[in-house]
Amino acid sequence: MAEVVRLEEVAKVYTMGEEKVEALRGVSFSVAPGEFVSIMGASGSGKSTCMNILGCLDVPTSGAYLLDGVNVGELSGNQLAEVRNKKLGFVFQGFNLLARTTARENVELPLVYAQVPAGRRRALAQEALARVGLAGREGHFPNQLSGGQQQRVAIARALVNQPSIILADEPTGNLDSTTTVEIMGIFQELNRQGITIVMVTHEPEVAAFTGRQIVFRDGLIVSDTRSDRATRPGSGEGEGS
């Protein structure tokens, strides 16, 4: 089976004045289609740098990053922008929704950049919102939605271009424990539908929802474990249902 992601001896060194900081020190791992992976570690462990490289927001100092078999380091700036728009879906801690724009219009944004016709954009956005349980809320503005519902809109926006992989950076960091369980349940359902997800989190109880946990320390991977016994959400109804 082809890999969605492969990192080969990836190192990242930042220069701060006369000091060099090794954020990553030769990291190698791959992600197969349909995996749900969490990347964990304390502040300064290298997990955020790794996520930035996976998201084509930063480039390795050395080593190689292959996305769908393509060496990202060999792409031009325009090509990288196209990769971010068409192959990657992003979900952030802070939702990053436009305040004066409806849920549907927020979800349509990646399609606008991809120059998808308006009618097709609308249909795809409504379909993505329905997948995350927000059918009927398309016309709501962010301030009319709960935190959990806003994150659902953000997940729908990440889905709408049918990316190769969804990258989620602390997606439950601004949510209470009940809503966290709901959002992780959505990620699990999307993963069961075949979507590949890589998520950064510092919370073990959130990582427990994923089928694989990669732990970073001091720029290195210290453990990489798989489990077929990921935490499952309860069956109760909650916020945003």
Residue ranges of the domains in the chain? 1-87+164-241, 97-162
DSSP bridge partners of 88: 165
Whole-number pLDDT of residue 234 = 61
Whole-number pLDDT of residue 241 = 35
Domain 1-87+164-241: give its CATH superfamily: P-loop containing nucleotide triphosphate hydrolases (3.40.50.300)
SS (H, E, C) 79-148: HHHHHHHHCEEEEECCCCCCCCCCHHHHHHHHHHHCCCCHHHHHHHHHHHHHHCCCCCCCCCCHHHCCHH
- Provide the residue count of the chain: 241
Helix, strand, or coil (residue 196): coil
| Sign of the dihedral through C-alpha 110, 58, 51, 92 | negative
Task: Dump pLDDT digits (tens) for 126-170.
Answer: 999 999 999 999 999 999 999 999 999 999 999 999 998 999 999
Whole-number pLDDT of residue 228 = 77
Answer whether 206's CB lies under 8 Å from 172's CB. Answer: yes
DSSP bridge partners of 16: 19
Task: Dump pLDDT digits (tens) for 179-238.
Answer: 999 999 999 999 999 999 999 999 999 999 999 999 999 999 999 999 876 777 764 443
Answer whether 160's CB lies under 8 Å from 108's CB. Answer: yes
Whole-number pLDDT of residue 239 = 39
Mean of pLDDT values over 34-41:
96
What is the value of pTM for the model shown?
0.90
10, 22, 58, 87: CA torsion to nearest 10: 40
User: 240 falls in which pLDDT band (50, 70, 90)?
Assistant: very low
The residue among 6, 9, 19 whose CA lies nearest residue 61 is 9
